[in-house]
Amino acid sequence: KRGKSPHHDLMRALRVSDSSPQDTATLGIYQVRVWTGRGGAAPISVEAIKPGTEFHMEASIDGTLFSEWAAKAKGFPFRHRSWLEDLDRLARERTAERLRREIDYWQRAGFKGLPYPLLKQISELKKRNGAGFPLQLGFGTGWEGMTIGAPLKDDPRWPEIHRRHGLGKAPKVKTQTPPEEFPASRRVAVGKDGRPRLPLGWVWIGWEVV
């Protein structure tokens, strides 16, 4: 059975424009490895945006989708406008969970150097800054960045979901990461020594009302 149409998804009401263009000088080539408890896989070269680069764009909430006028169409008006208006707080809570898990992962991996301090700095910045939130997006964000992640693992059916879809199962082998330890790897930019230096995809979302 098909689920709800994206046409009726609440996020349709959040309108985000394309960003202003940036110079190609903001791009760099980085060596990226998949890192597990056993070490890193062979590195690959990745073109990525350099740290400190800023992009500017416009965003707004389409209020007409919550109005009585929208009731002329089936499935409207939308409810829960307050969820979008409270996006800052909700995103902070979600990111706080994510950062705790990432910091714990690198601590268990035995790293007292990078990328642990950077994640710690992001966490502290989240606490200090009153307008905005950190967010991990794009290539290298892993399973949690591409799915609902942690909430799914709280579902009592999670072990069965993990088994049925073969999550954490390496190609050509029969072993599988236990559901409580999944995901067991991270993509990370490495230095010349091949050791982790920077986690991928972390950005700071800030705004001002105009």
Q: Looking at the domain assignment, is residue 117 inside a domain? A: yes
Decide: 181 and 142 in contact? Cβ < 8 Å.
no
Decide: 50 and 22 in contact? Cβ < 8 Å.
no
Decide: 64 and 70 in contact? Cβ < 8 Å.
yes
Angstrom CA distances, 133 to 41, 67, 115, 149, stand at 32, 29, 19, 19
Q: Which pLDDT does position 18 carry in this prediction?
A: 95
Q: Looking at the domain assignment, is residue 157 inside a domain? A: no
Work out the pLDDT band at 81, boundaries 50, 70, 90. Answer: very high
Taking the C-alpha atoms of residue 68 and residue 95, their distance in angstroms, rounded to an integer, is 34
* pLDDT at 2 > cutoff 60: no
Q: Looking at the domain assignment, is residue 158 inside a domain? A: no
Q: Looking at the domain assignment, is residue 176 inside a domain? A: no
* Domain extent at residue 124: 12-142+183-206
Give the gyration radius of the chain's Cα atoms: 20
Q: Looking at the domain assignment, is residue 159 inside a domain? A: no
Q: What is the mean pLDDT of residues 55-84?
A: 92
Instruction: For residue range 175-186, list pLDDT tens digits in order.
Output: 888 998 888 888
Q: Looking at the domain assignment, is residue 83 inside a domain? A: yes
Q: Looking at the domain assignment, is residue 74 inside a domain? A: yes
Q: Looking at the domain assignment, is residue 163 inside a domain? A: no
Q: How many domains does the chain have?
A: 1
